[in-house]
Amino acid sequence: MTAIRLLLVDDHPVVRAGLRGMFESDPEFFVVGEAADGAAGAEQAAALRPDVVLMDLQMPGVDGVESIRRIRAMAAPPPVLVLTTYDSDSQILRAVEAGAAGYLLKDSPRETLFAAVRSVAAGGSPLAPTVAARLLGRLGPGGHARGADGLTVRELDVVRLVARGASNREIARDLRISEATVKTHLLKIFEKLGVADRTSAVTTALERGMIELPGRESD
């Protein structure tokens, strides 16, 4: 199996060294580069083309949010997984709106971090539980007047699985459809919700009350 190629973007050398050591202890991962600020992070992402970028938010000069925007503006951009100590509503929303594929806190267990990187590399959108709860709280309890109008039952199924961090392959398996069909559903969902990526689709679906936070949905 080909190793997942990672780019580490964090202004603290000790943090970068710790992350590099952690990931390179597992043959499933390979660190292709490091950057100490958002500007260098975007440049390295363009030059190295990693599979996943691990991005801190608070950095001197160009911060993580602006770096995410620059990376997302590239042709075929790599997904960005935010890894930070900040879980404030404003930081979470800014990162999600910039196009972050996922958002984890630095106190996350090693296996949680590894699983999140695998998920992002496969097209998933992992959120730390506390981050998901804050995001839902910021957006409100749901029940928007438009409800689930516009999305089919199958499209709602797809959005719910995306909210759980499922990749296209996992969605296809769970719904017993092809990956090509999953991609078609996602394109239609993006168009109907007026968004451009998976994370924004989940955020909008939560805001409009189309789905509930994973773990809260009734059976």
pLDDT attached to residue 217: 47
Q: What local confidence, expressed as pLDDT, does residue 137 receive?
A: 55
pLDDT tens profile 151-176: 888 888 899 899 888 899 999 999 98
Based on the fold, state whether residues 149 and 180 are members of the same structural domain: yes
- Is the pTM higher than 0.75? no
- Whole-angstrom distance, CA of residue 29 vs CA of residue 12: 21
The answer to whether position 217 is within a domain reads no
Count of domains forming the chain: 2
Residues 113 and 8 in one domain: yes
Which residue would you say has higher pLDDT here, 202 or 132?
202
Characterize 91-120 residue by residue with b for buried, 16 or more Cβ atoms within 10 angstroms of its Cβ, and e for exposed: bbbbbbebbbbbbbbeebeeeebbbbbbbb
Distance of CA 169 to the CA centre of its chain: 16
Task: Between 7 and 106, name the one with better pLDDT.
Answer: 7
CB 202 within 8 A of CB 103: no
> Same domain, yes or no, for 84 and 148?
no
Residue range 25-48, pLDDT digits in tens: 999 999 999 999 999 999 999 999
The answer to whether 116 and 81 have CB atoms below 8 angstroms apart is yes
Same domain, 28 and 91: yes
* Full residue range of the structural domain in which residue 145 is found: 140-207
Which of 114, 137, 160 lies at the terminal end of a domain, its last residue? Answer: 137
Q: What is the mean pLDDT of the chain?
A: 85
Residues 34-45: b if buried by 16+ CB within 10 A, e if exposed? bbbbbbbbbbbb
**pLDDT above 80 (res 141):** no
**What's the pLDDT at 132?**
66
Residue with the bigger pLDDT between 114 and 123: it is: 114
Judge if 133 and 150 occupy the same domain: no
Residue 3 DSSP label = P
